[in-house]
Homo-oligomer: A and B are copies of this chain.
Amino acid sequence: MKTLKRSYIREILDATTEETISFAGGLPNEKLFPLKQIKKATNKVLKNVNALQYSKSIGDINLRKKIAKIYTEKLDFPTKEDEILITTGSQQSFDIISKTFVDKTLFVQKPSYIGALGAFKILNKKLEDFETIENLEGRLNEDDTLYLMSDFSNPTSICMTNKQRVEYVNLLSKKSAYLIEDGAYSLLSFNGKIKKPIASAYKKSFHLGSFSKIVAPGLRVGWIRTSKENIEKLLIAKESLDLHTSTLSQMIINQYLEDNDLFRHIKTISFEYEKKMQYMAKCMKEYLPSFEFEKPKGGMFIYGKFEVDSLELAKKALEKNVAFVPACVFDVNEEKSTYARFNFTNTSRKQVKRGIKLIAEIISKS
């Protein structure tokens, strides 16, 4: 099963046509991209020829200042610009941090973001999974690494409680392990409430963020928030990967943030996404009553449980031009599973209804 992850995603991509109803990807809705504002920002930025020149590996200082401000003011996590390293999408962080700091065991929660697992695996990191903090207690050692998504996790969309966060801080402190806290979805909270990152109470940490879900993913701009000393070390890996993140992309986002209210935009997206989630949930309850799930409070996915093997079902669905992701791909050992992830952000109501009904038909026929 070693190459399943890749091959299944490939299979989806290869089998995906204009006709496919895809609940599979993690694509934000392009209708909600601030296209007009990005155009304006781009035109401003392209007055300066430096937007096309090489730039520093650590990233644009103005953008880093703005991200630091978001941490300080919105996440209640005081941050300075020299604690921010710009990355080519949040995805790049996994490689950079792993190369620099991960020598011992890397613990990932079950299930975990497939892109993180892929990046850790290709560097041959020693991966182990765990389900709850109790499973981790006796296994986590000094300088091991813990990878977590505390807010609206991909794939489960679960947001950790404050109590759970405190428990993680206590465990990490006791063991002196590294924390990689992935905040790709942290700001996509339907009620607008944002919890304090675990990293804000634990120094030996890397907090990851991204503009992919809240502005636009095509620009490939993310970041790592950690100590200045850690960033100095990470820069060697960052530089060796791509010298620096696209100067133009960074300057466009910086200008966009300069001229617009990001959090107002996030409010708009979240409002639309919650409506989309509610509609998908309604369809699932109506046509797929055997699919067990809880409605998420943020993020981009409904995660739940079928009564049948989800990989088999996903393959059959794909033949009918409906794509979703079976949970085995989010598992280190790719164990069989009945769980599945449905993305609700990038399909129309019509598609959702039709797609869910088609899956229901497949189940009823088998």
Interface residues of A (CB under 8 A from B): 6, 13, 25-28, 30-31, 33, 35, 38-39, 42-43, 46, 49-56, 88-89, 91-92, 94-95, 99, 115, 118-119, 121-123, 212, 216-220, 236-237, 239-249, 252
B residues near A240, Cβ cutoff 8 Å: 91, 94-95, 115, 118-119, 121-122
Q: Are A49 and B27 in contact (CB under 8 A)?
A: no
A5–B307 Cα distance when bound, in Å, is 57
Q: Are B49 and A35 in contact (CB under 8 A)?
A: yes
5 A-B pairs (CB sep. < 8 Å): A6-B239, A51-B218, A122-B237, A220-B244, A241-B241
B residues near A33, Cβ cutoff 8 Å: 49, 52-53
Q: Are B243 and A91 in contact (CB under 8 A)?
A: yes
Q: Are A39 and B46 in contact (CB under 8 A)?
A: yes
Q: Are B54 and A241 in contact (CB under 8 A)?
A: no
B residues near A248, Cβ cutoff 8 Å: 218-219, 248-249, 252
B residues near A216, Cβ cutoff 8 Å: 52-53
B residues near A217, Cβ cutoff 8 Å: 52-54, 247
Q: Are A239 and B25 in contact (CB under 8 A)?
A: no
Q: Are A52 and B25 in contact (CB under 8 A)?
A: no
A7 vs chain B, min Cβ distance (A): 10
Given contacts A38-B46, A53-B218, A218-B246, 15 further A-B contacts (CB under 8 A): A6-B239, A27-B53, A42-B46, A50-B218, A53-B216, A53-B217, A54-B218, A88-B88, A88-B220, A88-B246, A89-B242, A94-B240, A119-B240, A218-B247, A248-B252
